[in-house]
Amino acid sequence: MDALKYLPQILFSVLFLAGIGLFGRNVLKVVRNIRLGKTENRNDNKGERIKTMVLVALGQSKMVTRPLAAVMHIFVYVGFIIINLEMLEIVIDGVFGTHRIFAFMGGFYSFLIATFEVLAFLVILGCAVFLARRNSGAVKRLLSTGDLKGWPSRDANMILVTEILLMCAFLSMNAADALLQQRGEAHYITAGSFPVSQLIQPLFSGLGNDVLIGIERFGWWFHILGILCFMNYLPYSKHWHIIMAFPNTYFSKLTPKGEFTNLESVTKEVKLMLDPSADPFAAADPDAPLPSFGAKDVTDLTWKQLMDAYTCTECGRCTSECPANNTGKLLSPRKIMMDTRDRLTEVGNNIDKHGKDHKDGKTLVNDYITPEELWACTTCNACAQACPVNIDPVSIIIDLRRSLVMEESAAPGSLNAMFSNIENNAAPWQFSQADRLNWAQEN
């Protein structure tokens, strides 16, 4: 009969390890997908990078521009981090069959549990406010139309409801536990302080001990299994940002926002063109891969641009600041990020199913993002500025434009005219370079 006694512990251990294992596999898949991107060095200035991460991810410094969302987000975020301390106790209790193993800390334990309860309440409050904002139509960027039509909206609501349920399970567990403690039920040692759950205790007070134990156990299992499931849901969801925000801000672009990369592949060609001693008839190295210019698909982007895509939580602050989007153009920086992520997921799934060299004939440009969206961008960087996790949509837009222009010669006609003006007379308009100093003679 001993074996039966240990059944919950064995079951718990198996589920816990399976949950962690599955999560590890998912993480590795995301890492693999990000590594499909081109190399880019973001390992300089470690000090400044850590500072940026601490400020922007840990300290949420860019959230504050919208105070209500910032405060509610802090509730949910701090609640999430602190309540996960409770996980440690849950895991130890689950594996060893103990109950409230840290109760020996006495007063400090009571303080911790009380804090968790207050935070749980604040998480419920935050999530409720977020659900209201999202579903009342009050905040344009959160409407379930446009970019967020269908799955993204359901995803967001599912996350919020799950968090509320998890916290409700936690509080019911505590309420039942406290009653059992008062009634002197064996195994339920007196520990903890329950400032929030005591408010729901009256609901349970008419119930027998068996039912209370049932509620307590249900709350416990629901809380831990819920978290294990939720953890594995993360990589398929916008909620993934809770993890990605940290590496993504660490690897932030540290150079001025106005500075765009100089394409090395182009530098080589241009130097060759301008070098009078270069041999124009020299045979190209037959083994060298053909240089490509700009990005057509996700694998042409850098790993950091792909990491950006996985970090996006679809809050839409970028799009709500975008001058093109604000004036009715098709461009939405959020959609650029979502499309990049969705295409990357598709490419990753193709690799899993059909092997590394499979081509599905699709590309990020055209199949996901139309040229009209790309040509609407003013490169003003309002999106990058607004992003709470330092995503840089402009760099993707520019790399996609580069491919349109340099690989496909598909620039809008008026831009082609501007290009030829610069080529012919070194100005974007049709003025002769010889007239550049004429202003000095005018009044």
Partner 1 sequence: MAASGENPEILFWVGCAGSFDDKAKKVTKAFVKILNSAGISFAVLGTEEGCTGDPAKRSGNEFLFQMQAMQNIQVMNAYGVKKVVAACPHCFNTLKNEYPELGGEYEVLHHTQFLQKLIDEGRLKIQGGAYQGKRITYHDACYLGRGNDEYEAPRSLIEKLDAALVEMPRNRKRGFCCGAGGGQMFKEAEPGNKEVNVERAEEAIAQDPAVIAVGCPFCKTMMADGVKHFEKEDEIKVMDLAELIASAQDL
CB of 383 to partner 1, least distance (A): 10
Task: Kindly state whether residue 260 participates in binding partner 1, applying the rule CB under 8 A.
Answer: yes
Question: According to CB under 8 A, which one of 294, 316, 333, 393 is a site residue for partner 1?
Answer: 294
Which window, 19-27, 160-168, 191-199, 430-438, contacts partner 1 (CB under 8 A)?
430-438
- Report in angstroms the alpha-carbon separations of 301 from 4, 66, 143, 409: 55, 31, 30, 19
DSSP state of 83: H
- Collapsing DSSP to helix, strand or coil, 363 comes out as coil
Which is nearest to 152 in space by CA: 241, 283, 232?
Answer: 241
> Near partner 1 by CB under 8 A, which window of 129-137, 234-242, 282-290, 378-386?
378-386
Torsion, Cα of 279, 282, 286, 291 (10° steps)? 30
Q: Any contact of residue 378 with partner 1 (CB under 8 A)?
A: yes
Q: Which stretch binds partner 1 (CB under 8 A): 23-31, 74-82, 202-210, 395-403?
A: 395-403
By CB under 8 A, the residues from 177 to 206 that bind partner 1 are: none
Residue 64 interacts with partner 1 (CB under 8 A): yes or no = no
DSSP E strand boundaries for 150-243: none
Does residue 44 bind partner 1 (CB under 8 A)? no
Q: Pick the closer one to partner 1 by CB: 126 or 294.
A: 294
* Of 343, 406, 397, 399, nearest in space to 375 by CA: 397
Query: Which distant-in-sequence residues (6+ apart) come within 8 Å of 165 by Cβ?
Result: 222, 226
By CB under 8 A, residue 329 contacts partner 1? yes
CB within 8 A of 205, min separation 6: which ones? 179
Smallest gap from residue 376 Cβ to partner 1 (A) = 4
Total residues interacting with partner 1, rule: CB under 8 A: 69
* Contact call for residue 315 and partner 1 (CB under 8 A): no
Which has the closest alpha carbon to 380: 365, 398, 368?
A: 398
CA distance 196 to 274: 74
Q: Which of residues 358-377 bind partner 1 (CB under 8 A)?
A: 372, 375-377
Least separation in angstroms between CB 390 and partner 1: 13
Q: Among residues 7, 186, 282, 439, which is the contact residue for partner 1, using CB under 8 A?
A: 439
Among 74, 143, 263, 351, binds partner 1 (CB under 8 A): 263
16 is an interface residue for partner 1 by CB under 8 A: no
- Burial class (CB within 10 angstroms; exposed 0-12, middle 13-18, buried 19+) of 231: middle
From 70-78, 137-145, 307-315, 316-324, span contacting partner 1 (CB under 8 A): 316-324
In the bound state with partner 1, the residue whose beta carbon lies nearer, of 204 and 375, is 375
Q: Are 383 and 322 in contact (CB under 8 A)?
A: yes
Residues 6+ apart with CB under 8 A from 23: 231, 232, 234
Angle at 274 between CA 273 and CA 276, to 5 degrees: 100
Q: Does 139 bind partner 1 (CB under 8 A)?
A: no
Residue type for 88, please? L
Piece of 118-126, 279-287, 356-364, 396-404 that binds partner 1 (CB under 8 A): 396-404
Cα end-to-end distance, the chain, whole Å: 104
Q: Which of 50, 229, 272, 426 binds partner 1 (CB under 8 A)?
A: 426
Give the nearer residue to partner 1 in terms of CB position, either 285 or 442. 442
Token output for 399: 């790399």
Near partner 1 by CB under 8 A: residue from 96, 108, 111, 419? 419
Binding residue (CB under 8 A) for partner 1 from 59, 105, 269, 354: 269
Question: By the 8 A CB rule, do 190 and 181 touch?
Answer: yes
Comparison of 43 and 443: residue with beta carbon closer to partner 1 = 443
Nearest-CA neighbor of 124 among 77, 193, 76? 76
Q: Which chain residues interact with partner 1 by CB under 8 A?
A: 65, 255-260, 262-263, 266-267, 269-271, 273-274, 293-294, 321, 323-324, 326-331, 372, 375-382, 384-386, 398, 401-406, 411-412, 414-415, 417-419, 422-423, 426-429, 431, 433-440, 442
